[in-house]
Amino acid sequence: MSCQLSERFPAARGVFDEADEALGFALWRLPVKKLLLNESILTRAAVRCMARPGPIAMLILVRDEIDIIAQNIDFHLRLGIGHFVVTDNGSVDGTRDILADFKRRLGKSIIIIDDAEPAHHQSLRVNRMIQVAKQEFRPRWIISSDADEFWYPASGRYDSEIDGRKNILNCYWHNFLPRPNTPWQEFTDIGEMPGYHSKMSKAFCLARGLIGMYSGNHESRSIPRIMSRSDNIRIYHYPVRSYEQFERKVVQGHRATLKASYEKSTAWHWNEYYRAWENGELPQVYEGLASRNRISEDRTMADLFSGDLKTNH
């Protein structure tokens, strides 16, 4: 790879070098102007040689998720994800003890980072986990997830859409509406809630060329960027479960965003929910979330948790 390209694309140097090796010729021999104007020459070549099935690492940032974290990790283990990097953000409800149990069970396949800083520095923590996963596990693919997200491949395999044509799969939320006095594992109503809608996606990313995640953890900073919508991977999302969990999330979320000096427009739903909590109206908000904007019924996860649905590895 030429000095000129190295200087112009320092973050992508490794991508170009691997593409050179796989293609059998040096991309630097092509005119830089041609590479810049016709990105398909570069990106298709790089992705073709790297975007193939391989080990997956999952990143999870948690704080006080005792009701769901064990089910989350076990679910993804069952579907073939072999490595985890988990950052515990100062949990006090027993979540950290559950993570310690997984460490004893999984050994080197899980890395736990303790970071009790209360401010909501999500991107910093996620980007640190990306680097740790790359260094320790050398995965081919990385999923930056949350404790309330269950990445479900309808085909039974995460790699059924990996064909060498893209390095990012956009996977969309399927948000479960809460149902009062019902365990979250039995939720079946898919719908919309303020801050959580079905047009929001998360990224299933090729590890090589992944630099980090943008704020919000929904979009990757990757070189190159060839994206496609996944028709296979559904992210079943449980952002609101019991009232107690909702109240804790609202209070902690609002205070964490204040400490991180987030713009009010960025964390608008935390501000609105927190105001309702201060006014003693949060129980009514919770009841409203359970009844609003129902889109469909989906029993996939409820059946899985009850043991009726069998998944393939």
CATH of domain 56-176+187-237: 3.90.550.10
pLDDT one-digit tens code per residue, 174-213: 999 999 999 999 999 999 988 888 889 999 999 999 999 9
d(CA 266, CA 268): 6
31 burial (CB, 10 Å; 0-12 / 13-18 / 19+) is: exposed
DSSP letter, residue 198: T
Give the per-residue pLDDT at 258: 73
Give the per-residue pLDDT at 21: 60
Amino acid at 150: F
Give the per-residue pLDDT at 12: 58
pLDDT one-digit tens code per residue, 214-225: 877 889 999 888
Phi-psi region of 234 (alpha: psi -120 to 50; beta: other; left: phi over 0): beta
d(CA 45, CA 124): 31
Q: For residue 181, which of 287, 293, 284, 94 has the smallest C-alpha distance? A: 287
Task: State what percent of residues in the chain have pLDDT above 90.
Answer: 61
Backbone angles phi, psi at 270, to 5 degrees: -65, -40
Q: Is the pLDDT of residue 146 over 70?
A: yes
Average pLDDT for 19-30:
56
pLDDT one-digit tens code per residue, 151-178: 999 999 999 999 888 899 999 999 999 9
Q: Is the pLDDT of residue 276 over 60?
A: yes
Q: Is the pLDDT of residue 261 over 60?
A: no
Higher pLDDT, 108 or 24: 108
Q: How many helices (H) and strands (E) does the chain have?
A: 11, 12
Would you list the domain boundaries of the chain? 3-50, 56-176+187-237, 243-306
Which of 2-11, 118-127, 296-305 reaches the highest mean pLDDT?
296-305
**pLDDT classification of 118: cutoffs 50, 70, 90:** confident
Question: Are the C-beta atoms of residues 136 and 221 closer than 8 Å to each other?
Answer: no
The mean pLDDT value of the chain amounts to 85
Give the per-residue pLDDT at 34: 46
pLDDT one-digit tens code per residue, 242-258: 999 999 999 988 787 77
Average pLDDT for 299-303:
97
The pTM score is 0.83
**pLDDT classification of 10: cutoffs 50, 70, 90:** low
Q: Is the pLDDT of residue 122 over 60?
A: yes
